[in-house]
């Protein structure tokens, strides 16, 4: 059993294949370095984010209940308000009371955003400071 260490002709042959093992090793090391340093480099602006709270609605007799139907009709408690100007006029009368009552808007889920927006604009024009939206909690599936 013999071992052939050199070529029989005695000339050095040039190896024409590229050894990719060192290249792959270097690339894996660079990838690991980038994966570790990218989260450290990422910066963000310091903000004080709002905290979400669910406050149970307290119904007080002085609160104003406005309802918006899917057709866009606005009801003050159970009385239909004929138009936008009439709503603003009624809200102006109660906006001067001390303490100012809260306006609770109950919008039908099929009501257009425009209809609810008009009620909000009317409250703003009348000088109402506190507007709340009344919603129902989602049904619990069992």
pTM of the model: 0.57
Tokens standing for residue 27: 């690339």
User: If pLDDT is split at 50, 70 and 90, which confidence band does 27 have?
Assistant: very high
Residue with tokens 């936008």: 84
pLDDT in tens, 4-16: 555 555 567 777 7
| Residue 105, SS3 per DSSP | strand
| Residue 45, SS3 per DSSP | coil
């Amino acid at each position: 059993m013999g071992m052939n260490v050199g070529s029989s002709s005695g000339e050095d042959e040039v190896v024409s294949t590229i050894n990719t093992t060192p290249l792959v090793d270097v690339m894996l090391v660079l990838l690991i370095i980038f994966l570790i340093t990218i989260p450290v480099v990422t910066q963000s602006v310091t903000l004080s984010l709002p905290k979400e709270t669910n406050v149970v609605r307290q119904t007080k007799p002085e609160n104003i209940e406005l309802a918006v139907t899917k057709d866009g009709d606005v009801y003050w408690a159970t009385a239909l308000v004929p138009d936008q100007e009439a709503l603003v006029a009624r809200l102006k009368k109660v906006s001067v009371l001390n303490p100012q009552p809260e306006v609770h808007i109950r919008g039908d889920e099929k009501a257009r955003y425009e209809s609810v927006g008009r009620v909000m604009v009317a409250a703003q024009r009348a000088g109402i400071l506190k507007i709340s939206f009344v919603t129902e909690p989602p049904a619990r599936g069992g």
